[in-house]
Amino acid sequence: MHIQDGLLDIKTCAATAALSIVTVGYAVRRVSRDNADHRAPLMGVMAACLFAAQMMNFPIPAGTSGHLMGGVLAAVMLGPWNGLLVLTVVLAVQCVLFQDGGPTALGANVLNVGVIGSLVGYAIFEPIRRFVGGMRGTVAGAVVAAWFSVVLGASACAIELALSGTYHLAATLGVMLLVHSIIGLGESLITGMGVAFVLRTRPDLVYGQTDGATILAKSGEVLVAGLAVALFVAVLLSPFASELPDGLENSLKRLGLDLESAEPLMPAPMPGYALGDWENVRLAGSLAGGIGTLVVFAIAFIMARGISSKPSIARTPHAS
């Protein structure tokens, strides 16, 4: 759900940008108050992994593809406010370096993917986790919240398009929900598998499951392993991702809107995740993916270290 320039009017862009700025600003305040700097490697690694995962479009029926949004996954692993900041970094880099989402719509994209995905997703996840309890509760909550995060994000996108006069709300909402309710199943599956794997192998990496001492002691291992996985996906697997239009593109085409004729407002060094005019498209995409992964990791890591106020152990809101 990366909205491009020209789809939203000025008032909608301004309103969504204001909401996102206020929310992200509050997230920075919360993170600076609550975070310990052992979270910095995790935030960098999560940003890199989400960036790489979002390059991996998977096909769904009716000639459409989807990809992981990752809001709930980031919130479960890092906490909702950290998750929002990580997704904001990913979306900003995608916009600036790759023209994936327009700069005028960045506020809307942060709202739909980051705020709804991480904050609202976590608000759905936490009661389920508490009710079911244990590892099953964490996985079940993540699975359910992941699906809702996609559907709610798509609904917000449809409302923004309707408010901008791009298309009627009923038609836009119907098409967006039809496509993204299916994409949400993939989001749930990937999120559930990811959370279950981490709980079985490194439960200390899940938000609230530990006091942070283990993370602090093994942060180097987390950084190297996580970054290696992200680079593997971005460099070696992403060139083989589905080339079918994603959920938003497919939905707008069904409504008769032509996205290909829209001109971007801001040039980008690697538009469309391609490095220059190389003849070997897959190699160019691999290099662009690798560069983007490293850039996202560096920005998220430096940001986390810069705003962290505590040098050692973080709080444990729901360790079990």
| pLDDT confidence of residue 103 | 94
Torsion of CA 16, 18, 23, 24, to 10 degrees: 100
Count how many residues are written for the chain: 320
Please state, as a whole number, how many other Cβ atoms lie within 10 Å of the Cβ of residue 280: 11
- Nearest-5° angle of CA 23, CA 57, CA 257? 75
Coil/strand/helix, residue 243: coil
Amino acid identity of residue 205, one-letter, is: L
Q: For residues 284 and 290, what is the distance between their CA atoms, to the nearest angstrom?
A: 10
| pLDDT confidence of residue 315 | 47
List phi, psi (to 5°) of 203.
-60, -20
Q: For residues 184 and 181, what is the distance between their CA atoms, to the nearest angstrom?
A: 5
Q: Which domains does the chain have, with CATH numbers?
A: 10-307 (1.10.1760.20)
Q: Is 309 exposed, middle or buried (0-12, 13-18, 19+ CB in 10 A)?
A: exposed
Q: For residues 295 and 299, what is the distance between their CA atoms, to the nearest angstrom?
A: 6
What are the C-alpha distances in Å from 169 to residues 8, 148, 151, 247? Answer: 13, 19, 15, 17
Joined together, the tokens standing for residue 216 give: 């602090």
| pLDDT confidence of residue 52 | 96
Per-residue pLDDT of the chain (320 residues; tens, 9 = 90+): 789 888 899 999 999 999 999 999 999 999 888 765 667 888 999 999 999 999 999 998 878 899 999 999 999 999 999 999 999 999 999 999 999 999 999 999 999 999 999 999 999 999 999 999 999 999 999 999 999 999 999 999 999 999 998 778 888 899 899 899 999 999 999 999 999 999 998 888 898 776 555 555 566 778 888 999 999 999 999 988 988 888 888 887 887 776 665 667 788 889 888 887 777 888 888 999 999 999 999 999 999 888 876 554 444 556 44
Q: For residues 86 and 48, what is the distance between their CA atoms, to the nearest angstrom?
A: 9
What are the C-alpha distances in Å from 317 to residues 51, 82, 87, 107? Answer: 27, 14, 22, 30
Q: What is the DSSP string of 275-316?
A: -TT-S-HHHHHHHHHHHHHHHHHHHHHHHHHHH--BSSPPP-
Coil/strand/helix, residue 96: helix
Question: Quick one: residue 273, left, alpha or beta (phi over 0 = left, psi -120 to 50 = alpha)?
Answer: left
Q: Are 221 and 160 in contact (CB under 8 A)?
A: no
